[in-house]
Amino acid sequence: MKKIIQDLSPYIPEKPLNDLRDELGLDKLVRLSANENPYGTSNTVRDAVINWAKHSHSNRYPDSSANQLRQLVSKNFDLDPEQIIFGVGLDEVIVMLSRVFLSPGDAEMISTPTFSEYALHAEIEQANIQKVATKEDGRIDFSGMLQTITPETKLIWICNPNNPTGTYETVEEIDNFVSQVPGNVMVLIDEAYIDFVTCQEPISAMQLTKKYQNIVVMRTFSKAYGLANYRVGYAVFAKSIAENVQKVRLPYNVNSIAQVAAIAAFKDQEFVTKVVEKNALERQKMQNFFDDKKIHYLNSQANFIFFEYPNANKLADYLLHNGYLIRTGLKDDWLRMTVGTKEDNADIRKLIENYIG
């Protein structure tokens, strides 16, 4: 076996929720640790999937190019259909990008803390990680990143809004940053949470893929669209780059049910709009509560909040035994909590008040 694999610390996925609930002897356990959509999925998705199951053939391979979904997405964002690569969630897109752009000895730059899978896949490709800490307020230190670029740097990850800080960078800031990055360094912009941004328009860096050759913008159906279980994500490239990434994509990666679900979800923008509105309202209420209680948090434009609390794991444990699973282990004494439904958030505020005493 490769030594690099033996030495790797694995990504620990979430335990099945019902198993954990039973283990803890709880009647109800709500997962607010994975930034899933608490409002479920558009009803039109269920209908589309049932209809597919009734009328289609499971013995046939799916459409390798996901053409219907591709046309829908490219029209909506005014892109050339060939600029898009679909993946089994963004997870798979991250694997593809690492595989295409990193050779042993290359370097990948990340802003820390950020999504752990960027570094994991760089390690698998035997690349080195260049870490630049975020600023005090959780925002990306763009000038620090520019100063850290070396001839080995091949990839720079910008997660926007960033997981776990929830902080958002404007398109102008990103444009300004990319304009100073050498053309042979790819800037990868993970917009998994972009739909939740409410502080400004336009919010996406998608159109910059027409201005720069060395930029990739990534989106997923897992979060605002509520399709985490179907595993559909995509990346938008300059066309010449997309052609090459296609070469490493497994030909039938996204199955037909996932394609059908994503099409239905994408067509129901009303569902997404409602989710985003409810999330923004609940996010603000939770931040107001933290202000009230003098709990330090970072200003979030996502569907989760990153906050600091002394002996954080003890608070997380208290919430867990009272029915709410939140994310620990991302930074000492910090916790990441997905913004849940109105009822669950009110319940959590009561619990935290109780805990503080």
Ligand X SMILES: *Cc1c(COP(=O)(O)O)cnc(C)c1O
* Sites of contact with ligand X (CB under 6 A): 35, 89-91, 115, 159, 163, 190, 192, 220, 222, 228, 233
Q: Minimum Å distance from CB 15 to ligand X?
A: 17
Q: What is the nearest approach in angstroms of ligand X to the Cβ of residue 190?
A: 5
Q: Which two tokens stand for residue 281?
A: 């309202």
| H or E element in which residue 280 lies | helix 269-292
- Which one, 89 or 113, has the nearer CB to ligand X? 89
Cβ nearer to ligand X, comparing 90 with 171: 90
For the CB of residue 199, give the shortest distance to ligand X in the complex, in Å: 19
Report the Cα 354 to chain-centroid distance in Å.
Answer: 32
> Could you give the CA distance from residue 276 to residue 21 in angstroms, rounded to a whole number?
28
State the nearest-atom distance from the C-beta of 205 to ligand X, in Å.
Answer: 14
Listed residue (213, 219, 347) closest to 289, CA to CA: 347
Q: How far apart are CA 342 and CA 339, in angstroms?
A: 9
Question: 15-44 b/e with 16+ CB inside 10 Å = b?
Answer: eeeeeebeeeeeeebbbbbbbbbbeebbeb
Measured from the CB of residue 342, what is the shortest distance to ligand X in angstroms? 23
Decide: 153 and 185 in contact? Cβ < 8 Å.
yes
Minimum Å gap between C-beta 65 and ligand X is 19
Complex with ligand X: residue 182 or 329, whichever CB lies closer: 329
Please give the residue whose beta carbon sits closest to ligand X in the complex.
89
181 versus 235: smaller Cβ distance to ligand X:
235
Cβ proximity to ligand X: between 219 and 347 the closer is 219
Are the C-beta atoms of residues 216 and 190 closer than 8 Å to each other? no
Question: Which of 45/90 has CB closer to ligand X?
Answer: 90
